[in-house]
Chain A
Amino acid sequence: MMKKLFVPLALITAAMFAYAPIAIANVAYQSTMLLVQKIFYFHFATWMAMTAAIAVSGVASLIYLFKGSKLADWYGVASAELVVVFGLFGLFSGSLWGRKAWGVWWQWDARVTMATMLVLVFLGYLMVRKYGGPGSEKLAAAMGIFGAATSPFVYKSVDWWRTIHPQTSVVRQLSDTFPDAWYLVLYCTAAFLLLTVLLLTARVRLEAMRSELDRMYLAAED
């Protein structure tokens, strides 16, 4: 099914990303933050994409560990790579925002620290796969499960601890105070989530092809 849907979905996503900068440029300014607030639309969307990737990786790791399904393992590694990519993008865009809003490129606030930690966890996932030798898929799965289990604490960290990062309720209030911006946030999030699905599918397909190639090599040798 995904094979048929892939091209149309890719076209829709490309169109959404092409229109996104125009929409972001046209949406009204909120009074206090001026130009830097425009970063927010992609910043928030990347973190949502990363959260989705973490969830996929955690669930896939669990299924792989207990059922041993190869497909789950491929989803695990594909989503772990996406976590790292979106996480780095989120940290980068957050850093740009921080320079304008907080006056520093990097601030050791709870949310930033924990987000960095999550990126490190999934870099660890990829490293153990690469350098762990045979059977390392299982070890990586443990990493994926633990990474996904700590991620809710990252989300709540801002509410629990005094921090300078905008509260998580800012986004929830946006629908009342500034509906145009809220729709645009949703639009960008949808675009990034679609991108996540596409990249995930492509990456899983690559992994499936690699596995098939390995099998054929082995068959040819016999």
Chain B
Amino acid sequence: MPGFFAVALLVLKKDLAIEAKSREIAYTTLFFAVSCVMIFSFAFVMEDGVPVDGAAAGILWIAVAFSGTLALGRTFERERYSETLRALLLAPASRPAVYAGKLLGMILMMVATEIILTPMVAFFFHAPFFARPLLLVALLGLGTIGFAAVGTLFAAMLVRTRTRDVLLPILLYPVTIPVIIAGVRGTAALLQSPPEAPVATLWIGLLTAFDVVFLTLALWTFEPLMTE
């Protein structure tokens, strides 16, 4: 039986190979995220063309969360459609490793979206996101891990249900609200002038705590949840 990381990397490689051929998830997710930002501009840009103070942090994180949900739904829909989920679960590999591989793919996909999304929000909403780039990267990275950790687990377990498209956001958002709150508050602290680095660091600490809890629980419960 191959080791944990070998399996995780194999699953990741498989997902990336499929994605590289069609680029379906990458393009649709990115386009959806951009549409999100555009829709928010109607709500948060005032009549004089100036965005509401502090709106940029919220817009960025909501676009990340919404487009992430879309990508989560698609990546497992793909497995279900071609009946490969069973094959994946029957493979002589530990289930948590399969989960880890899927999670890595999901994180990469969301990070790729964020790389384009963040400068775009900064550009459209006059937000000084890059005053403290390391702190911003830490916030986005940890937030993405927390969101994707719960999201990958929930999307995987919902594959078998009929109403998965509706249930995924219903289940995912309440559980990941702490992550979104921490992300938005931390990012908003960075947008102050001067940036409030200690506040952002506090939220980064909290995000780390959430990530540890969510990852541990997800790795632990993936096996029984995926057993029929």
Of B153, B163, B228, the residue contacting A142 (CB under 8 A) is: B153
Stretch from B41-49, B113-121, B136-144, B174-182 that touches the partner: B174-182
Judged by a CB distance under 8 angstroms, whether B90 is at the interface is no
Closest to A67 in B: B224
A-B contact count (CB 8 A): 78
Minimal beta-carbon separation of B81 from chain A (angstroms): 18
Please report the C-alpha to C-alpha distance between residue A117 and residue B180 in the assembled complex, in whole angstroms: 12
Q: Which of A43-51, A99-107, A145-153, A187-195 contacts B (4 or more CB under 8 A)?
A: A145-153
* Interface of A (DSSP majority class): helix
One of B52-60, B125-133, B164-172 at the interface: B164-172
Judge whether B153 and A131 touch: CB under 8 Å. no
Task: Describe B's contact surface by its main secondary structure.
Answer: helix
Q: Is B82 an interface residue (CB 8 A)?
A: no
The CA-CA distance from A188 to B46 in the complex, in Å, is: 50
Interface residue count for B (Cβ, 8 Å)? 30
Q: Which of B11-19, B72-80, B154-162 contacts A (4 or more CB under 8 A)?
A: B154-162
Q: Does B213 contact A (CB under 8 A)?
A: yes
Known: A131-B163, A138-B224, A139-B158. A146 touches B177 (CB 8 A): no
Query: Does B63 reach chain A (CB closer than 8 Å)?
Result: no
Task: List residues of chain B with CB within 8 A of the CB of A139.
Answer: 157-158, 161, 167, 171, 225
What are the 6 A-B residue pairs with the smallest beta carbon separation, nearest first? A120-B174, A121-B174, A117-B177, A132-B161, A146-B175, A65-B224
A-B CB contact pairs (8 Å), 17 listed: A113-B177, A114-B178, A117-B177, A120-B174, A121-B174, A121-B175, A123-B174, A124-B170, A128-B167, A128-B171, A133-B161, A135-B228, A139-B167, A149-B213, A149-B214, A150-B175, A160-B202
